[in-house]
Structure 1
Amino acid sequence: MSTIAQSSSSPILPPANRIDENEALRLLREASLFELGIMAEEVKRRFHPEGQPVTFVIDRNVNYTNVCNVDCLFCGFYRHKEDADAYTLNYPQIQEKTRELVEAGGTQLLLQGGVNPDLPFEYYLDIVRNLRKDFPTLTIHSFSPTEIAYMTVITGKSLEWVIQQLIEAGISSIPGAGGEILHDEIRRKVSHKKVNTHDWLEVMEVAHGLGLKTSATMMFGMMEEDWHIVDHLFQIRNLQDKTGGFLSFIPWTFQKPNTKLEKLPNLPATGVEYLKVSALARIVLDNIPNIGASWITQGLKIGQTALRMGANDMGGLLLEENVVTQCGINPTRKSVAEMLKVIHQGGFDAAQRDTAYNIVQEYPRQN
């Protein structure tokens, strides 16, 4: 399989009386956590009626290189090529990591790395082609808009051409990484070498037009204000109205250890702030079917709470993850048993899913 197929369920049209940006900002600033949770649950039930299981996916994030020339202030993962611990993986190394994922019952592989100026476009294509040949049923959910935009630089080709080449090589879908805050005032401060808001959204729009489904994300708790968060959500909602290509939205909080923002006060966001933003995302994004709970940055208990405030998915078990881990979050890996326990204790049935949110295996609660 080369791309994520359209979900078998019929799309749910957004209501006529959608909230606008002013109301969203008011809710974020003035509504209680309880009020936001109630509203978010109402929206969730339009997509996921009472009794449907909370889902998770078994995946692995293979960070194929940590060499990067973008130098984001919030990143503790990247290295320059002259650093002693800089690395780039070859295909046999990626192949072995992928084999371990498949043997563990995993269905989704994320390939994400730094913007490494020494890697030719054929490096990416060869990896995807070999993975597709060796693991034909695996979902290759890979390469962020930042990485894809850089591929246009090294090839001198259009976004359409680059993404079509990746599709023909065997890519399945694109993750929403690198969104952070989709407002250029913030992006200029913390990631001025990275793709701007327009370019991030353009990658997603072109991908959707070529038939790829993607996720969308937001990382907050840096130096943005409330209205930046709201603007980000509406940028995503507006593009979804146009393309319908986002399967999910996952917000999470910035983690400052080992980053250049480590010494700034009043960072990162609290658990309560995370829950409010997650609930608001469910309310605003009334055209995206799935909201993921970020247990990776907030812990399993806060993730469990988010399931009662609009979220319906617990994301990946992450057999491997290196970017967030470099910012002091450890360990990120969880077992199926741990995930089932937290979902069941939250009062839900559980189910393993694939990237397209098709159910792979159900795990109902035991009476």
Structure 2
Amino acid sequence: MNYKITERIDSDYAIELYNKLDLLELGELANNIRREKHPDNIVTFVIDRNINYTNICVCKCKFCAFYRSKDEPDAYVIDKETLKRKIDETKELNGTQILLQGGLHPDFDIEFYEDMLKFIKEQGVWVHGFSPPEIYHIAKVSNLTIEDTLKRLIEAGLDSIPGGGAELLVDSERAKISPNKINSSQWLEVMRVAHELGLRTTATMMFKKNDPIELIVEHLEKVRNLQDITGGFTAFIPWPFQPDNTELGGEHVTAYEYLKILALSRIYFDNIDNIQVSWVTQGPKIGQIGLYFGGNDFGSLMIEENVVAACGATYRISLDEIIHYIKRAGFIPAQRDMQYNILRIFDE
């Protein structure tokens, strides 16, 4: 079959492509689109640190191995001394931003988050923080609207929002794996308001082995529809569920399955420029291969990561290694910021 992508595809066609094309055929279509969007042959990455300010969370999602109840011995809320040390270490490694995420703590209202943001901004870094479930939770606990919550967080120093908590934006699926978390409409509403207030955000998708392609494409469609309206997503990051140590359990997504979803994401999102590979869950070698299946961004150096690590993912790489992997794949490495401005090109 000779498939060519010359215009926007609809959901039915996306499902047909996934079902009828093999891995290499789908990858070729995605790679052609990646080359059209990024003809400079540059692959970007960001140097940041994922600081989880608390592991106390009322959501208790079945796929999460990180959360704790308040009374558990290893439950914590980060103190400012530890927070500053982590930020200083990030800056010493030429990091430019803090990825700030945490559990949905039952007791903290917006003043806690405003205070934390102001403290971090005093250290001179970009704050990419608080996924939609956190924003919604802060608003609920503080008896505020989503808009007023975001305005106050922006005033305190919030620069952009990560796309966490999306899982699959399919409510029947969310009811099974995260019944205490916001629904798909609420996730999209937080992102819509954020975009309207000038915040740029990313979008993610966590998919499991054997998730029907129809549900995956439903997720892609909802993200693409919002992007049509707001234009606020800078990147899309599909990543596979890590089942180890979780209540949900199950099998690992294979590299074959991951690369097909990555390629389909690149083909489907004509309105999102950047697709990020997930070396954190798949390893750097599959990350390299993903650059030929639609990916143009190697994600983060990930100085620190705790949530996925709690589910058994153990991959870590240094700055020299991330540069090496990108070069060995045939691309030019470049450090970027959250808004995809190039900060440094490693072309020597």
Partner of 1:31: 21
CA distance in 2, matches of 1:278, 1:108: 25
Partner of 1:46: 36
CA distance in 1, matches of 2:123, 2:16: 51
Residue 286 (structure 1) aligned with residue 270 (structure 2): yes
Residue 297 (structure 1) aligned with residue 281 (structure 2): yes
Q: Which amino acid aligns with 1:309?
A: F
Report the alpha carbon displacement of residue 120 of structure 1 after superposing the two structures with TM.
2.3
Residue 67 (structure 1) aligned with residue 56 (structure 2): yes
Q: Give a deviation string over 1:294-351, Cα, whole Å, max 9, x none.
A: 0000010111001011100000011111000101111x43211110111011011111
Alpha carbons 1:121, 1:155 under 8 Å: kept:
yes
CA distance in 2, matches of 1:45, 1:314: 16
Residue 184 (structure 1) aligned with residue 171 (structure 2): yes
TM-score (ref. length: structure 1) = 0.92
Partner of 2:126: 139
Q: Which amino acid aligns with 2:183?
A: N
Aligned ranges 1:75-224 → 2 under 5 Å: 75-135=64-124, 138-221=125-208, 224=211
Partner of 2:317: 334
SS in 2 for 1:141: strand
CA distance in 1, matches of 2:190, 2:119: 24
Q: Which amino acid aligns with 1:186?
A: E
Q: Which amino acid aligns with 1:315?
A: G
Report the alpha carbon displacement of residue 255 of structure 1 after superposing the two structures with TM.
0.5
CA distance in 1, matches of 2:156, 2:316: 29
SS in 1 for 2:307: coil
Q: Give a deviation string over 1:168-220, Cα, whole Å, max 9, x none.
A: 11111000001111100110000010010000000000000000000000010
Report the alpha carbon displacement of residue 134 of structure 1 after superposing the two structures with TM.
2.5
Residue 268 (structure 1) aligned with residue 252 (structure 2): yes
CA distance in 2, matches of 1:64, 1:239: 29
Q: How many residues align?
A: 344
CA distance in 2, matches of 1:255, 1:205: 29
SS in 1 for 2:261: helix
Alpha carbons 1:186, 1:223 under 8 Å: kept:
no
Partner of 1:350: 333
Q: Percent identity?
A: 48
CA distance in 1, matches of 2:298, 2:165: 20
Q: Give a deviation string over 1:256-290, Cα, whole Å, max 9, x none.
A: 1110022x3xx221101100000000010110010
Partner of 1:57: 46
Measured at CA, do residues 359 and 334 of structure 1 come closer, stay the same or move farther in structure 2, by a change above 3 Å?
Answer: same
Residue 319 (structure 1) aligned with residue 303 (structure 2): yes
Cα RMSD for the two superposed structures: 1.3
CA distance in 1, matches of 2:111, 2:89: 25
Partner of 1:243: 230
Q: 4+ residue runs of structure 1 moved beyond 4 angstroms?
A: none
Measured at CA, do residues 273 and 206 of structure 1 come closer, stay the same or move farther in structure 2, by a change above 3 Å?
Answer: same
Partner of 2:11: 21
CA distance in 1, matches of 2:152, 2:242: 35
Decide which moves more: 126-135 or 203-212. 126-135
Decide which moves more: 242-251 or 87-96. 87-96
Alpha carbons 1:213, 1:245 under 8 Å: kept:
yes
Alpha carbons 1:72, 1:191 under 8 Å: kept:
yes
CA distance in 1, matches of 2:102, 2:162: 12
Alpha carbons 1:186, 1:224 under 8 Å: kept:
no
SS in 2 for 1:231: helix
Report the alpha carbon displacement of residue 359 of structure 1 after superposing the two structures with TM.
1.0
Measured at CA, do residues 16 and 207 of structure 1 come closer, stay the same or move farther in structure 2, by a change above 3 Å?
Answer: farther
CA distance in 2, matches of 1:91, 1:227: 45
